Structure 1
Amino acid sequence: MGAARESIPGSSFVLRPDAGGPTDARSPVFQVESRARGLLLLLGVSSAATSVVLEPSARDYPAIAVLEVLVIVGFATAGHLLLQDPTQRENGRLLIASALLQVVTHLHLVDHSPLPMLAWLCGPLSAMPAAIVLLRFPDKELDPLDRGWVVFHLAWLVSSRLLFTIPTPERRLGWWPAIPMSPGFAAAASIVGNTVLSLSTVFFAFLLFRRLRHSRGLAGHAVVPVLVASISASVTVVLHLMSVANSRESVPPLVLGIEQAGLLTIPAAFIFSAIAMRLARAKIADQLLKVNHSTTPREWQLALSETFADPDLKLLCWHPREAVWMTVDGDIVDLDAFRGRLVFPVDAGGDRLASIVADHAIGRHKHLLDAAEAATRITLLNIAALAEVRESRFRILQASVDERRRLGRNLHDGVQPRMAAVTMLVEQLWAAAEDGSRTRELAEELKTAVKETLDDLRDFARGLHPTVLTHRGLAAAVESAAGRLRLTVSIAIPGERWPEPVEVTAYYFITEGLNNVAKHADVDRAEVRVTNGGDCLVVEVIDCGQGGADPNSGSGSGLVGLKDRVGAVGGIVEINSKKEGGTCLRARLPFASR
């Protein structure tokens, strides 16, 4: 369980779950409660099967008896699943109560007062706990219109069942204050009662349809199946009531079967919704597994938005230096702008890290919020750590570039002039010596050695840091390097400039790639392409040689070095090299954040 969430200014919703406690699956108390629920579910299943199977009608219509058992077991199972969610325990208890009342309905088989009368009363009342859940799930409160329907429907059921409806003599308690009615009046009262119940059930379906219209997002995904199933079940109940009103005999088995099948869809929908919520939490874990070195806060926001089915979801990152909230696009925002939305914080070690702004209905699913909070914390800390590593690498590379430039400048300004002076002295010595003398021969050899040393020194200084790269850019530096190779190189590089470490990395990537072509590809042509990828520089060195380049082979140390150099600026290297199919070296060098 995560740490307690504090109130965030501008938020109209604050969730403060307790740390640990019985909601923790590892808690001994939770495990004991789970065993108790499992035992209760087993007893309920046994009671339902026994009571229903003992019904006389079960022998005549076994399919209906099986459906009745499945309905009772379904409500008990759905209640058991809801009990495992701390925010749905009240609804879970009501569904289990509905299952138990359905079991009590069959106690009219027991020939002991007052059980038959109790069963007579519990028959219609068994639907009320489930109806309350259907009107408010996944909330805990009913709105005024729903509450009014519950009061009216409950009052009508109790009064009509106990005061006006005449049970059979074997169910009737002699002392019960039922109003005596003639057969004709009883028939009329039955028609009125069934009509009122039908209209009330239709209004109940209207209330469900009203909720269906306002269901959206992930919460809507959980509620919609339940509401659709409930509306379908309401239609079957109305069909049953109409059949009772139009038939003087018992209700046809087909109608009873349709009614039980419709009622069975309700617990099935609850079970489906519970599974859907668990799958949503699993989906967050799947999204977390996709986090890699290139994941950005914007990509994680899109992942959360997809998981929550909320296109307006926002991930706000806290910037402590400026003490502001910023969107993933870099815009500064105020949390007061999100009133009416769910705003829940993501902390790290007591420090602010981020806030997730989502649809208010998501707050009903505590486990899902906990999973999203933990996954967001891990993702953002991972992104921050990788960014810090990249910054560190970038600083190291920048220091290396500066040191190379300093060494090259010292060689150019200090050592090379001295070597040039030595060359002039040797030329003077050569001119002063007599023709054919040993001195002139030694002077000639010394002059050649000094010139070669000076050329090597210039090449070394150029290798440390090419001056043309600093002054004229990447395109000119690559053209200069390609001119010293025995290759015809096609070069396509924009004339714009990029951060120096990026340009230096691109330059050495290209020159190393061209050297590899000259040494191993057995071709005389190569191609260099550099394009601006928006937030990265895409560098490609292409040849149509023999291919087969493999950085994992023992001879691939140069390619490994390229990967390390590119990785120092947070880039990646792609190698596409097939036997006899040529080679394409591609580097992606990020620069937008610099």
Structure 2
Amino acid sequence: MTVNAAGQRWWAGAAALAVFAWTMAVSWPADGSLWWQEFPPRVVGVVVIVAGLVVWVRLPSPRIGALMVFGAAVYYLQYLRSADGVLFAVGFCLAYAWMGVAAHVLMTWPTGRLSGRVDWGYVVASYVISIGTQVARYFVDHPTPPWGIGIAKPVTFWGTLGSALGAVMGIGATGIVLWRWLSTAKLRRRPTGPVWLGFIAAASFKIAEAVATVLTTSLAVKTALAWLFTIAVIVMVPLLYLVRWVLRKLAPEVLVNLLVDIKRDYTAFADPAALQHTLSKGLDDPTLTIKYTLDSGELVDIHGRRVFAGAGSTTEVRRRDRLIAVIEHDPALDAQPKVMDAAVAAVGLAIDNARMYATLQAQLEQLRASRRQLAQTAATERQRIQRDLHDETQARFFRILMLLDTAEHEHPSAAVRRAHTELTDAVRTMRQLTQGIYPTVLRDHGLTAAVENLADRAALPVTFAVSPRRWPEEVEVTAYFVISEALANVYKHAKATEAGVRVQAEPGQLVVEVTDNGRGGASALNGLRARAEAVNGRLTFVSPPGHGTTVRAVIPGEALCES
């Protein structure tokens, strides 16, 4: 904290204590009240002022501490109801304004910011109800001093309405706190849980006091509930700090265990994914991710893919003054800097090792991207060659055939007939060649129709099961040529009597299987493997002698879904 910020904090604390002293001077003792009834509630504000100054320093955002100090000062304005004239009017109208500030603190804990419409709506409603009902009550009911604990007060519509709305808001706040408790990750419960539980404990007495006012119970009951609220606040504030201190002391024990595990076997954490999982588990933060820096300054994730820095909370990891990684985590860890420092110290060397692994992964990812680009370029070039042969060269051949037909009719001869036959065979061969380069049926109708075409032209019976879907072009082209080449191997080498083709979509990949009942004993299949690996796929085969061959290719592809 800077000198200027520290000065602001102490000036705010001094101002709040000055309000306390001033209100005590003009309102003590209240007529009709006993000093032992008045004194404990007046201590509450001082306790909250001290707590607010501590929170102002401890939490990353100073807003919470400032609100607590301000709310404690506002709390003392209610004691001006023991004075006369303008002071009484101010004290009466702002007697419960501190409840609006308390709601503001609760909704913004621990970040100091209102995060959504529910928070904003609740805080605005709290201020309107806590101040508005008192202002209306002042101008309608025309109250007169003095007011204080233990002094009977007249029952009026606006007084009852204010108490009823206060009870509703208290119950609503309790519901919001419980919902946050149930829906919040364990990491966030550690620093905020004691505060929420303390609020519920203290608020329950205020809610009971408001309900007692609505039900017009005896003055003794309401006085007792007010006292219980006072005791709850005075006891809860130091108790909450004790609980938070204990939790902070216990938190590093998890990191100690983490450090022991890492020191036991550094190699187990060389894998970035394993290290990220372990650190995430150790800090109770399922959102935690580790991004590693390359020598170029770029960031990569645990899989080596290039990523950008996030906009959330981060902790930098440095080795010899060089940034090697960035840990992105839940903002709740910002309030526990010692825990994060201990975590970074515990996994420092492991992160350095994992960074080298991630760098290698990034190089592999770059190689995969190059392979994908080459495969896409090859597919595009196949299409171009197929289109040129089909649209231009084949068209020229057909024109020559028409000229030969004309010549044969006008000047029939064996040479012309032989030329016509040879050219017809050449056109048929070229048509087969263009289909082999890039089959038109695959482009126009998809993989199912293309496999059916292969089965129809096969030299032996081929059964196939292919879902009638369209997949990305790169995936379909690779799958088609794997099937085509695998069937060609069956014809040439397997001495099989039948073959089968199965194509099945799985999450993020397409699985192709080609089987036969041939003699087995296949080896290498380097051509098929190279084709699959060109798109970052993988190819395996099982070919025991005498029991046929099963070729299985897994082709990765995003957005594998029905078109």
Length-normalised TM-score, structure 1: 0.47
Length-normalised TM-score, structure 2: 0.49
Name the structure, 1 or 2, with higher relative contact order (CA <8 Å, separation 6+). Answer: 1
